Amino acid sequence: MMASESTNLKDLHFIQMRGSSTVMKLMQHIGMRYMDEHPHIRIPLLAGGTAMGYKSALDGTTNIGMASGQMPPNIQIWAHKYKYKIEEVTIATDGLVAIVNPANPINELTLDQLHDIFTGSITNWNALGKYSGPINVVSHDPQLGTYEPWKRQVTGNDHITLKAKVITGIHSLMQEISTDPFAIGWVGTTFLRKEKVKPLAINGVLPTYQAIKQHEYPIRNDLQLLVAPNAHKEVKEFIAYCLDVNKGQAMIKELGLVPVAGK
């Protein structure tokens, strides 16, 4: 990302961010506005997934990690071993949406039905309505941020079916769902493209802004920035900007996500 104004290189301060592509989408907007307002700051962004956001924030290889889910268990063990610590700052809430091919006539499922689909207990659409064919479950890679909150809220202590097709990116997910009339997967509302896939209501509730804000929609996910306890002044000022009701939080709301302040 580059600001519109030129600044002497020796006067620049860099705030590197790495991790979740979901959070990075927000940071592209907030960071550009911030650099316009603070021409001595540059904010390079790098994707890599939530796990990478946690790891790089913990080991100090980035200034701010980006996460769309909780710390993966293997990284928790690693951080505990080396006594690494970070602060997790929630900046927004997203909804996680069950999506199917537009040819699928089913418009809603219960959370229990969703559990049975993703654990492999229900394997044919004819168990759920006037539609017949094998249910082809599409799962995110466990290293991606939305895997953990989806598993925790949908399958609980049970495993996602081993028959699920595992994908590693949003483009691959959309391609899979939009070309397979029997597929089902999930995506954060940030990346929902209704022209390609159909979102399902869960327990009769669609993942609208108000439904997520009022906690009526049951599958939600916190979006976080990860910082070291001893982060330098420029990092703390940017975090404060993201939490400012009239700055970052207002932009988050404009982008269709639920801010944590000024709701």
Sign of CA dihedral 190, 191, 196, 199: negative
Decide if 68 contacts 51 (C-beta within 8 A).
Answer: no
For residue 42, give both structure tokens.
């540059």
Closest CA to 96 of 239, 14, 211: 211
Distance CA 59, CA 82 (A): 9
Q: What is the pLDDT of residue 144?
A: 79
Report pLDDT for 74. Answer: 87
pLDDT at residue 225 tops 90: yes
Q: Name the least confident of 7-16, 45-54, 120-129, 173-182.
A: 7-16
pLDDT 10s digits, 142-180: 877 889 899 999 999 999 999 999 998 888 999 999 999
Q: Within its chain, how far is the Cα of 183 from the centroid?
A: 21
- Phi, psi (rounded to 5 degrees) for 134: -65, 140
Confidence bin at 203 (pLDDT 50/70/90): very high
Question: Tens digit of pLDDT for each residue in 25-46?
Answer: 999 999 999 999 999 999 999 9
Eight-state DSSP code of residue 125:
G
Strand partners, 222: 93
Is the pLDDT reported for residue 187 higher than 90? yes
Pairwise CA distance, residues 110 & 102, whole Å: 19
For the segment 3-18, the average pLDDT, to the nearest whole number, is 75
The 10 Å CB-count burial string (b at 16+, else e) for 173-183 is: bbebbbebebb
- Cα distance between residue 96 and residue 152, in whole Å: 12
Amino acid present at 204: G
Q: Using an 8 Å Cβ cutoff, are 35 and 1 in contact?
A: yes
Query: Does 11 have pLDDT greater than 90?
Result: no
At residue 118, what are phi and psi to the nearest 5 degrees?
Answer: -80, -15
State pTM to two decimals: 0.87
> Can you give the pLDDT at residue 73?
84
Domains in the chain with CATH codes? 9-93+222-259 (3.40.190.10), 94-213 (3.40.190.10)
